[in-house]
Structure 1
Amino acid sequence: MGTLALAAKITHVPSLYLSELPGPRHGTRQDAIDGHLEIGRRCRELGVDTLVVFDTHWLVNANYHINCGPHFKGVYTSNELPHFISNLPFECPGNPALGRLLAQSCNALGVETLAHDATTLNPEYGTLVPLRYMNPDQHFKVVSVSALCTGHYLNDSARLGWALRRAVEDHYDGTVAFLASGSLSHRFAQNGLAPEFAFKVWSPFLEMMDREVVDLWQRGDWARFCDMLPEYATKGHGEGFMHDTAMLLGALGWSAYQGQAEVVTPYFGASGTGQINAVFPVTPQDGRAIPAAQASAASAYQAFPRL
């Protein structure tokens, strides 16, 4: 029925917005902005109607949550970095029907998920920053998924991604993109050193790990990456514990995924963290081996190994 047309791992560093403004940082993130523009262009070309963003700035302590209000509008200032993102205007249409469908299907497949379609909750900046460049004309509807998960196993997030794709392909009448919005390593520069690390990764060790991961993605060595993800997420200070990445890989087929990542914005350092824009080609999902009509909570639970 529906189509997952595009999947990507994307940056949302607040210096993208800062680089728009007059001052010493003006223009310094144009490569990342151009990457967002390109991903937005591809989504339009593919007929995408809704961007589903796995947002590592939406912190939740229990369950999975989907923000699918009918319309989002406001002015946003980051509580973390108010000197980077201050008074950022935003507006975009939501997709309540898709959000409810996603939650219903995930619950049916044993992944406890709550949809919030009548809410005053606005998206976090892991969603708002990319939308500024991908969706300035409100062409796309937007659904945000919690991906800073403090009490969740990574394999549960992988199953969530698998179930979200099943919901789209088996029940939705439309075309979507899944965007994992989060960094690679996420060790911020120590207080007082931020200017020195504005365009650098915090340590050679973290940069080496990140670059090896990108190489695995480009080679399509998903078995090795999925096996190392829990340890990488911990030792690499992964943003949101890398639940967004687990969700994306779950949607694509986890270790059985056959695609090779295409780097749209090359790896770069930002305030000590490692960042990238990369598109992951959507291939047939191995999860189809479990017929949607027959999948029980127990069988869904076994779709991915415990991480």
Structure 2
Amino acid sequence: MGEVVLAAKVTHVPSMFISEQEGPLKGIRDAAIEGLRKIGDLCREREVDTIVIADTHWLVNAGFHINAKPDMSGVFTSTEFPHFLNNMEYSYTGDPELGQLIAETATNSGVTTLCHHEIDTLEIQYGTLVPLRYMGIDKDIKVVSIAGWMYDADLEESKVVGEAILKAVKKSGKRVAFLASGSLSHRIPPNKVVGDYLFKISRPLNQEIDLMVMDMWKQGRTKDFLDIMPKYAEDCSGEGGMHDTAMLFGLLGWDKYEGEAEIMTEYFPSSGTGQCNVVFPLMPSDKPDTTVHPV
């Protein structure tokens, strides 16, 4: 029987790409990069076969969608932040078998989901590519990317997709890591001042609520968090409507989940948004060894 052996909420800020380059901003995101590297190390230690990523930079308008094409390689430039993230080469291998199984399971659970593995021109978004880069993932671990930004969809639907991911993994015989790739609050400042916010939050209240949410996660107060999640996503502009996070908690067991999260990268503001890297220990029924190694 397959199993989910790692679950995490991760950052994908494009400023990590400029952080690794020579110049005045070199090293500005070292802590975020180090947190992702440690999550990558955990994937290798736990012998992960496939990483499934809910990508909040993939917006879909009708139905839920999965990209599992076998050849995930190319050169990426962000249309949103081309001055930060450009000409980034990548080369990964998709997992059509698992992607199709997730789509079928979600559809059978009442949420229409399509897996695409024969459309060579379907692009991979940077909510998938950036974490994989800093996790140090190579072709020995396969990838499935799931759209994490649904137009006019309920968070309940993403919860069902998260539950379907777990069911599909158990049927698959694979060892899988799941990543919810997206920020906490996501209010980018107005254009005329956004350049001054590389290290600042857009609204102090957003930061206070972000930190409160992270405390809930660390204390295992899942039900309290789920009670506020829809309002939190709305009032603090949660990235992608926080559909990635709904998938994450659906996979973890929703309000039955009692795990106490481990912070791999402490909270940091970036271009007005709130960011972190957090690993959620799996319940004993899914994975006996829940040991992680915080930064």
Question: TM-score, with normalisation over the residues of structure 2?
Answer: 0.94
For 2:145 and 2:10, the matched residues in 1 are separated by 14
Shift of 1:186: 0.3
2:248, 2:45 → 1: CA distance? 21
Deviation at 1:285, TM superposition (A): 7.1
- Residues 169-198 of structure 1 show CA distances to partners (whole Å, capped at 9, x for unaligned) of 1x1011000000000000112212223211
Partner of 1:73: 73
Look up the match of 2:197.
Answer: 197
Equivalent residues in 2 for 1:138-149 (5 A)?
A: 138-149=139-150
Residue 203 of structure 1 aligns with an amino acid whose one-letter code is R
Unaligned segments of structure 2, at least 5 residues: 287-295
**Aligned residue number for residue 266 of structure 1:** 266
When structure 1 is superposed on structure 2, of 261-270 and 95-104 the one drifting more is 95-104
- Structural RMSD (CA): 1.2
* Partner residue, 2:293: none
What letter matches 1:159 in structure 2? V
SS of match in other structure, 1:137: coil
Q: Distance in 1 between matches of 2:258 and 2:40?
A: 24
Helix, strand or coil: the match of 1:142?
strand
Contact conserved, 2:40 with 2:137, CA < 8 A, in 1? no
Name the SS of the counterpart of 1:58 in structure 2: strand
Whether contact under 8 Å (2:91, 2:138) holds in the other structure is: no
Q: Write the distance in 2 (CA, Å) between the matches of 1:217 and 1:116.
A: 33
Match of 1:249 in 2: 249
Shift, 1:255, TM fit: 1.2
Judge conservation of contact 1:111–1:163 (CA < 8 Å) in 2.
Answer: no
Q: Partners of 1:101 and 1:69 in 2: how far apart?
A: 14
The residue type equivalent to 1:9 in the other structure is: K
User: Paired residue for 2:113?
Assistant: 113
1:139 alignment partner AA: D
Q: Distance in 1 between matches of 2:138 and 2:8?
A: 21
1:8–1:280 CA contact under 8 A, matched in 2: yes
Residue 88 of structure 1: aligned partner: 88
Deviation at 1:111, TM superposition (A): 2.1
Q: Distance in 2 between matches of 1:202 and 1:189?
A: 6
Which residue pairs with 1:168 in the alignment? 169
Contact (CA 8 Å) 2:55, 2:128: kept in 1 or not? yes
Could you tell me which runs of 5 or more consecutive residues in structure 1 were left unpaired when the two chains were aligned. 287-307
8 Å Cα contact 1:253/1:285 also seen in 2 = no
SS, match of residue 6 in structure 1 = strand
Alpha-carbon distance in structure 1 between the residues aligned to 2:152 and 2:186: 19
* Deviating 4+ runs (over 3 angstroms): none
Q: How does 1:31-42 map to 2 (within 5 A)?
A: 31-42=31-42
1:122-170 deviation line (CA, Å, top 9, x unaligned): 210000001111134333111000011112100110111011101111x
Task: Return the letter of the residue paired with 1:189.
Answer: P
Is the contact made by 1:257 and 1:285 (CA closer than 8 Å) also made in structure 2? no
- Relative to structure 1, the CA distance from residue 110 to residue 134 in structure 2 (aligned partners, 3 Å threshold; closer, same or farther) is same
% identical aligned pairs: 50
Contact 1:50 1:142 in 2 (8 A): yes
State the Cα distance separating 1:284 from its structure 2 match. Answer: 5.3
Partner of 1:209: 209
Structure 2 vs 1, CA of residues 224 and 285 (structure 1 numbering), >3 Å: closer, same or farther? farther
Q: Partners in 1 of 2:128 and 2:195 — Cα distance?
A: 25
Provide the C-alpha distance between the structure 2 equivalents of 1:191 and 1:68, rounded to a whole number of angstroms. 35
SS of the aligned residue for 1:53 comes to strand
Matched AA of 1:187: R
Kept in 1, the 8 Å contact 2:98–2:168? The answer is: no
Kept in 2: contact 1:7–1:248 (CA 8 A): yes
Aligned positions, number:
285
In the alignment, the residues of structure 2 paired with residue 138 and residue 114 of structure 1 have an alpha-carbon distance, to the nearest angstrom, of: 24
- Between the aligned partners of 2:226 and 2:26, the Cα distance in structure 1 is 38
Match of residue 183 from structure 2? 183
Cα pair 1:54 1:144 within 8 Å, conserved: yes
Instruction: Tell me the residue number matched to 2:14.
Output: 14
8 A Cα contact 2:111 2:160, kept in partner: yes
The one-letter code sitting in structure 2 at the alignment partner of 1:192 is K
Q: Read off the aligned partner of 1:97 and give its amino acid letter.
A: E
In the other structure, the counterpart of 1:223 is 223
Distance 2:220 2:129 in 1: 30
